[in-house]
Amino acid sequence: MPLLENIKYALLDYLKNSRPDTKSDIIFIGIRNGGRQLTNTCIHRIVSKYFIKSNIDISKRKHGPHAMRHSLASNLLHNNTPMHIIKEVLGHSNLNTTRMYLNINIDALRTVSLEVPYETE
């Protein structure tokens, strides 16, 4: 997955200096749970903590791991990333799953589309 330079260096710093020493190939592991994979609940709490520290109101917005995946997918699409690449980044086996993830609703798009005039003879 493509990463910004500062995120790449932050990940390398975490892996080298902060991550508990374990043979697990999971990148983010818990310190208090014996080095096991972080749960969605744990990640949700961490994200909430830093949103609050950043003075971001989370009372009326989705902000957990799933919402972050949706945001990633939407940003990739907005930046003209091809659908098959977004599918791979998200780990989907089916392109229809990716389309649902991106809330692409063809019927809704048709209701806001412009009519194309055509000439009749």
Domain boundaries, the chain: 59-116
* Residue 12 pLDDT: 93
Q: Is 86 exposed, middle or buried (0-12, 13-18, 19+ CB in 10 A)?
A: buried
Question: Could you tell me if 85 and 76 are in contact, meaning their C-beta atoms sit under 8 angstroms apart?
Answer: yes
pLDDT per position as a tens digit, 62-72:
777 788 888 88
Q: Quick check: 82 pLDDT over 80?
A: yes
Question: Could you tell me if 83 and 99 are in contact, meaning their C-beta atoms sit under 8 angstroms apart?
Answer: yes
Mean pLDDT of 29-50: 85
pLDDT per position as a tens digit, 88-108:
999 999 998 888 877 765 555
* Residue 118 pLDDT: 61
**Cα–Cα dist 86/99, whole Å:** 10
* Residue 17 pLDDT: 92
Identify the residue with better confidence: 2 or 21.
Answer: 21
